[in-house]
Amino acid sequence: MLSKRSIRGKFIWQLVLASAALIAIFSTILYSYIRHSLYQELEEGLIRQAKYIVTNIPNQHAGDKIDSFYLKNTLDINVEVISKPPNINNIHFDVLKKNRQVYAILYYPYNFREQTFLKITKNITSMSHLLNKIHKIIIFANILGFALIIIYAFLISKMLTTYITNFTKKLADMNENMLKPIKIENLPIEFQPLGRSINMLINRIQTFVKYQKELFIGVAHELKTPLAVMKLKNEVTLIKKRSPEEYIETIKLNIKTINEMNKMIENVLKIGRQEGDHFEPPVEMDVISYLKEKANNYKLLAEQEDKELIIKLKPEKYKTTIQPTLVNHILQNFIQNAIKFTPEGGKIVLKSSPVEDGLKIEVIDEGPGIDEKLDLFAPFKRSGEKSGVGLGLFLAKSAADAMGATIMIKNREDKKGAVATLIIPSTLACPIC
């Protein structure tokens, strides 16, 4: 039995009801057309016979019967002259059932001066039987067609839901260790967008699981090392009596290490908060105006470090549906890294330009560049000699993946430095769109 909440069940009943209604309407129209055509042909035949009588048998009066071998035996009609019937002013055709016999009756004007009509009666019982047989055949055909429609509805619904059922089964069998993309090329065209969406979701899950594992391992490693150093330093200090200055030095080292671990924990908490930002409702906004607004704040940060931020934004406007908080996470990380690694007096460029199906945003610095062999987006990966926890680019990558955007970092080709790039597609893969 199909559940009331089953898509297949709803589809079957809708298809059956719609098809049954269509068959019923078509059958009614067909039977009415056949019946009307037979009666119309009969009426036209009786009118021709009436015209013949008016022309060839004149001077008959009301109450007279026109007895003719040709009329009675050849044409099988009875003709009599009657006074004008009430409410009948012209030719009138009617069908009457009497004593299980069916008669066709035609009233035809005969003598205008005497106000008489011809009443032509013809027994059409055989025609009525024929119409009844046709009606029964149509009903039987409807019942047979209805049964075939039910079978067809079950088959077509099963065919249409097969792919969704397969999707459901594959997704139900998946876990974080057995995520495999769906082969889109084997799907019908109508289901390929769904397949691509599922593959994008699988890819995001794989990326999320990969980075989460790396994050947990990295956090454990990064916290274990300073804790071990603190423990060893304290043990060495306690081996023998020390001077107050040595105790103070040990305590200061412990405080410094604790501050570094606190900073790391704050960044880990940022990751948790950012995961909540992934579900921020996207809004339609002008990205260029948003960049100009943020650039003013970034300029102040650069000036405090004796560095210059140059703004080059094109086109004049670029509207899209986007999650502003996630974009801010990415740009803020790019700008802070550029300011951190660019030497005093150096220049940082924030630029944007349209690309095919999207907008490219670049942050260009004059720092030492990067080691392109490293996966800088993995947690706790650091480049250069500057201090840091190594979670900034991990956060930026996570935000980009959530939006369906792309980020990359590479060395400059014209001079020393790095280029951090964010490409925002025209259609973002926002989770709440």
For the chain, what is the domain count?
Answer: 3
Shared domain check, 327 and 258 = no
CA angle 269, 273, 278 (to 5 degrees): 145
Tell me: cis bond preceding 315? Omega within 30 of 0 counts: yes
Q: pLDDT digit string (tens) for 371-390? A: 877 777 766 555 555 555 56
Range with lowest mean pLDDT among 172-186, 304-318, 372-386: 372-386
Shared domain check, 310 and 260 = no
Which tokens sit at 34?
């056949």
Range among 111-115, 170-174, 196-200, 371-375 rated most confident:
111-115
* pLDDT number for residue 164: 75
* pLDDT number for residue 136: 93
Q: 322 — alpha (psi -120 to 50), left (phi > 0) or beta?
A: beta
pLDDT band at 432 (very low <50, low <70, confident <90, very high): very low
For helices 324-341 and 287-304, angle between their N-to-C axes, nearest 10 degrees: 30
Evaluate whether 277 touches 332 at the Cβ level (below 8 Å).
Answer: no
Chosen domain end from 222, 242, 276? 276
Q: 376 or 299: whose pLDDT is higher?
A: 299
Shared domain check, 255 and 367 = no
Range with lowest mean pLDDT among 33-37, 195-199, 277-281, 338-342: 277-281
Q: 146 or 387: whose pLDDT is higher?
A: 146
CATH for 214: 1.10.287
Using alpha carbons, list the distances in angstroms from residue 81 to 97, 108, 325, 418.
21, 10, 98, 113
- Average pLDDT of the chain, as a whole number: 81
| pLDDT exceeds 90 at position 34 | yes
- State the Cα–Cα distance between residues 167 and 143, nearest whole angstrom: 37
Structure-token match 């989460």, residue found: 212
Q: Letter for the amino acid at 191? A: F
Shared domain check, 319 and 263 = no
- State the Cα–Cα distance between residues 208 and 398, nearest whole angstrom: 8
Which secondary-structure segment (H or E) carries 350? Answer: strand 347-355
Evaluate whether 226 touches 257 at the Cβ level (below 8 Å).
Answer: yes
Structure-token match 């999207």, residue found: 358
| pLDDT exceeds 90 at position 33 | yes
Residue 135 lies in a domain: yes
Residue 234 lies in a domain: yes
Shared domain check, 11 and 131 = yes
Q: pLDDT above 70 covers what percent of the chain?
A: 83
Chosen domain end from 101, 127, 147? 147
* pLDDT number for residue 385: 52
Task: Give the number of other Cβ atoms within 10 Å of residue 363's Cβ.
Answer: 25
Range among 27-41, 71-85, 147-161 rated most confident:
27-41
pLDDT band at 349 (very low <50, low <70, confident <90, very high): very high
Structure-token match 């990067």, residue found: 370
CATH for 359: 3.30.565.10
Evaluate whether 340 touches 393 at the Cβ level (below 8 Å).
Answer: no
Q: pLDDT digit string (tens) for 404-425? A: 788 999 999 888 899 999 999 8
Range with lowest mean pLDDT among 8-12, 209-213, 231-235, 283-287: 209-213
Residue 161 lies in a domain: no
Evaluate whether 273 touches 343 at the Cβ level (below 8 Å).
Answer: no
| pLDDT exceeds 90 at position 65 | no
Shared domain check, 250 and 368 = no
* pLDDT number for residue 351: 92
Shared domain check, 97 and 74 = yes
Task: Give the number of other Cβ atoms within 10 Å of residue 422's Cβ.
Answer: 23
Structure-token match 């300011």, residue found: 339
Chosen domain end from 243, 276, 309? 276
Nearest 10 degrees: CA dihedral of 154, 155, 160, 163?
Answer: 110
- State the Cα–Cα distance between residues 144 and 230, nearest whole angstrom: 87
Shared domain check, 295 and 243 = no
| pTM of this structure | 0.48
| pLDDT exceeds 90 at position 348 | yes
| pLDDT exceeds 90 at position 29 | yes
Shared domain check, 359 and 316 = yes
Range with lowest mean pLDDT among 26-40, 202-216, 337-351: 202-216
What secondary structure does DSSP assign to 356-409, as a single string?
A: TTEEEEEEE--S----TTS-TTSTT---SSS---S-HHHHHHHHHHHHT-EEEE
Which tokens sit at 15?
């298809």
| pLDDT exceeds 50 at position 272 | yes
| pLDDT exceeds 70 at position 277 | no
Give the mean pLDDT of 18-29: 90
Residue 313 lies in a domain: yes
pLDDT band at 428 (very low <50, low <70, confident <90, very high): low
Q: 238 or 27: whose pLDDT is higher?
A: 27
Which tokens sit at 63?
């109450």
- State the Cα–Cα distance between residues 136 and 144, nearest whole angstrom: 12
Shared domain check, 335 and 243 = no
What sign does the dihedral 182-174-204-323 (CA atoms) show?
positive
Shared domain check, 369 and 335 = yes
Q: pLDDT digit string (tens) for 84-124? A: 888 888 899 999 988 889 999 999 998 888 889 999 999 99
CA angle 50, 56, 60 (to 5 degrees): 80
Give the mean pLDDT of 236-240: 80
Evaluate whether 267 touches 313 at the Cβ level (below 8 Å).
Answer: no
Shared domain check, 405 and 297 = yes
Residue 236: is it exposed, middle or buried by C-beta count within 10 angstroms (0-12/13-18/19+)? Answer: exposed
Give the mean pLDDT of 292-321: 87
H/E/C letters for each residue in 193-246?
HHHHHHHHHHHHHHHHHHHHHHHHHHHHHHHHHHHHHHHHHHHHHHHCCCCHHH
Domain membership of residue 253 as a residue range:
203-276
Residue 160 lies in a domain: no
Nearest to 278 by CA among 410, 404, 136: 404
- State the Cα–Cα distance between residues 348 and 335, nearest whole angstrom: 8
Tell me 72's DSSP state: I
| pLDDT exceeds 80 at position 205 | no
